[in-house]
Amino acid sequence: MKVKINISIFLLSIIFLTACSTTVKRIDASDQVDLSGAWNDTDSQLVAKNMIKDALSANWITNFRKKAGKNPTVIIGTVKNLSHEHINTNTFVENMQREMINSGEVQFVASAGQRSQIREERGDQDINATEATRKKMGDELGADYMLQGQINTIIDVEGRKQVRYYQVNLKLISIKDNRIVWVGEKKIKKYIKNSTLRE
Amino acid sequence: MKNLFVVVLIILLTGCASYQRKNNQIAQTLYKSPPKAVLKILQGTEPLKRDIAQYHLNVGILQFKIGNFSAAITALELAKKEMAALQAISISENAAAATVNETYRAYSGYPTDLIMVHNILALSYLFNNDIGGARVEILQAQVAMRKLAKGRALIGQLASTHLISGIIYELLGEQSNALISYRKADVILIDNKLPTPMGLKQALLRMSYIVDKKSQYAIYKKRFPDIPTPNKNTKSKIFVLYFDAVVDHKAEFSLLVPSPNDDQLIRIAMPRYPKTNTTISHGIIKVNKQQLTTQLIDNLNLSVRKDLSQIYPSILLMTTSRAVIKDTLVKKANEKDDLLGIVFNVATFISEVADLRSWNMLPANIQFAYMETNEPTVSLGRKNVPSEKVEIKKGTDNVLLLNSLTSSIFHYQQ
């Protein structure tokens, strides 16, 4: 009898210890996984997709095409994080850029940081590349519009319950004359209930 | 076999208590050794899993004091995450605390820790030239303080947090938010019956003059008539924060009482903050012939005592209940075997230790001063210590942090 109890305790201990070990499972990048309720990749992708869709269906783009006879060229400026979380706005910017480029409706130029690296390379080509392959300075495509924005949050907390309200605002500004040609807004509301008990 | 198990348990339990005492001793070495040396000692210790939040907090503040802001951010973010996860109740930890001692609960941070972690993080981000990150932290601190606020009780309500928030908002040009934060800092100081420092009075006048000249500025001008009307100028703004000394740590207060039948001794151990007569030192800022002294904005020695007072009734209740459980356990062991009874009595006696854990490497108090100048350098120091010169570019906004225990000065300029 005593031996049986000891074996049972031993087996239970093994099961308990197995439950504590780290497990890793590959999941699809598009799968929606919410762990803490904080801003995550799903929010970033969703907001970028919806807002760019909204931006590209607005009047400014047809007006520009009528006037200029070509697709507008856009550059992404800064997206300020004014939220309660340390959000990496770079991934959000990348998501928006991908949505815009893949739409084929607009042309896109590199950001200020990327441009300086390309200019450096062009300078290097000036000295080292053959005449036939060298890309000369001064042929850059100037952007017509700049996309700027900010992420804001309002948090309401009561005990273990929390409501997180995210508001993403984007503006498309004409570089020529500072006109704001499009304003977009996307809201996400999350209700988070933290567990009362833990292991 | 059982006796051997109990002896092993005694050794283990004594080890837990000695780690706490050792940790408090390490914190006190900050008075004699540089933070880098203290960090090395701390990193050489092996914290228990349940003390990991306290360990990260201390590593974080030491990295901050050294000026290694990225490492401070990493450690403090870990501590923050750990403390957030530990806010939920653990049945097994509660059961252990009810039968062995309070140290069996994981360290989840006191209200002062939960707010101060955002303060140190905000300053770490700021001195790491990431004002956006600092802004995120002050927003989180405000949510945390709102969560802790209970009526007019001042538990977890730190004037320094609102002051740092005000400074960051002011640096970002968010004058309305800055005024709200400065006002909140002032309200906490009034509630704590502490005088409003000159720097905060100037901030209230400066921001209300911009935001609401007719109403709020008029009220503050009436309250602080001696301070000149703020004027738009090209002078450099200098916000000086001063971290003084090391916060007090808890000590054990124990009592030995005989059991109702006089056949065994019951030990009751409670944590308390011993009375200390720490003299407050002040930071001194000199520009030409003008001299300014930093003034108290937060007394963390008082805050940590308030935190303990708040939970003292529940600790007392738990300690008393535990004494009853232990007494019953010893009696039952005694009924089986006299020797086993003695061993159990010793084990329960030794295992009764007070929880002395705290974020014991925080400063004892935080002070503040503000000045505007056209001079290219300011001298910063403290009494009886040679001052150091800091270069100030014309027309810039500057945040400077002085520490009474080190000579390093941290500087953010924009």
Q: What is the CATH number of the domain that holds A118?
A: 3.40.50.10610
Q: Where are the domains of chain B?
A: 2-413
ipTM above 0.90, yes or no: no
Give one DSSP letter per residue of chain A, joined into a string.
-HHHHHHHHHHHHHHHHHHHS-------TT----SSSS--HHHHHHHHHHHHHHHHTSHHHHHHHHHHSS--EEEEEEEEEESSS---HHHHHHHHHHHHHHHTSSEE---HHHHHHHHHHHHHHHHHS-TTTPPPTT-PPPPSEEEEEEEEEEEEEETTEEEEEEEEEEEEEETTT--EEEEEEEEEEEEEE--SEE-
The reply to whether A75 falls in a domain is yes
| Alpha helices per DSSP H over B149-197 | 159-171, 175-191
Task: For residue B122, give the chain A residue with the closest CA.
Answer: A86
Backbone CA torsion sign across B198, B204, B207, B209: negative
Q: Are strands A145-158 and A73-82 parallel, antiparallel or unpaired?
A: parallel
Lowest mean pLDDT among A25-29, A86-90, A140-144, A179-183: A25-29
Cβ pair B143:A199 closer than 8 A = no
Measured N-to-C along each axis, helices B2-28 and B35-43 cross at an angle, to the nearest 10 degrees, of: 170
The reply to whether A186 falls in a domain is yes
Distance in angstroms (rounded) separating the CA atoms of residues B112 and B158: 8
What is the total count of domains within chain A? 1
Domain B2-413 in CATH 1.25.40.10? The answer is: yes
In this predicted structure, the answer to whether residue A18 has a pLDDT above a threshold of 50 is: no
B79 part of contact set with chain A, CB < 8 Å: no
B172 part of contact set with chain A, CB < 8 Å: no
Per residue in B324-356, pLDDT tens? 888 888 888 888 888 888 888 888 888 888 999
Per residue in A56-84, pLDDT tens? 999 999 999 999 999 999 998 999 999 99
Distance set, CA A12 to CA A15, A17, A39, B86, B96 (Å): 5, 9, 38, 25, 20
Mean pLDDT computed over every residue of chain A: 86
**Choice between A199 and B145, residue whose per-residue pLDDT is larger:** B145
B140 conformational bin, left if phi > 0, alpha if psi -120 to 50, beta if neither:
alpha
Lowest mean pLDDT among A6-20, A161-175, B253-267: A6-20
Written as one letter, the residue type at B231 is N
Report residue A14's pLDDT band, with 50, 70 and 90 as the boundaries.
Answer: very low
The reply to whether A32 falls in a domain is no
Please tell me the predicted confidence (pLDDT) of residue B413. Answer: 96
Would you say how long chain B is, in residues? Answer: 414
- Pick out chain B residues at pLDDT < 70: 1-17, 151-152, 262-263
Please tell me the predicted confidence (pLDDT) of residue A22. Answer: 66
Name residues 174-233 of chain B within 8 A of A (Cβ): none
Q: Which range marks the domain in which residue A49 is found?
A: 38-193
**Choice between A34 and B237, residue whose per-residue pLDDT is larger:** B237
Please tell me the predicted confidence (pLDDT) of residue B194. Answer: 92
Nearest to A29 by CA among A15, A44, A39, A18: A44
Which residue of B74, B136, B137, B138 to mutate against A (max A Cβ within 10 Å)? B136
Cβ pair A198:B86 closer than 8 A = yes
Distance in angstroms (rounded) separating the CA atoms of residues A12 and A18: 10
The reply to whether A126 falls in a domain is yes
Instruction: Report the predicted TM-score, pTM, of the whole model to 2 decimal places.
Output: 0.87
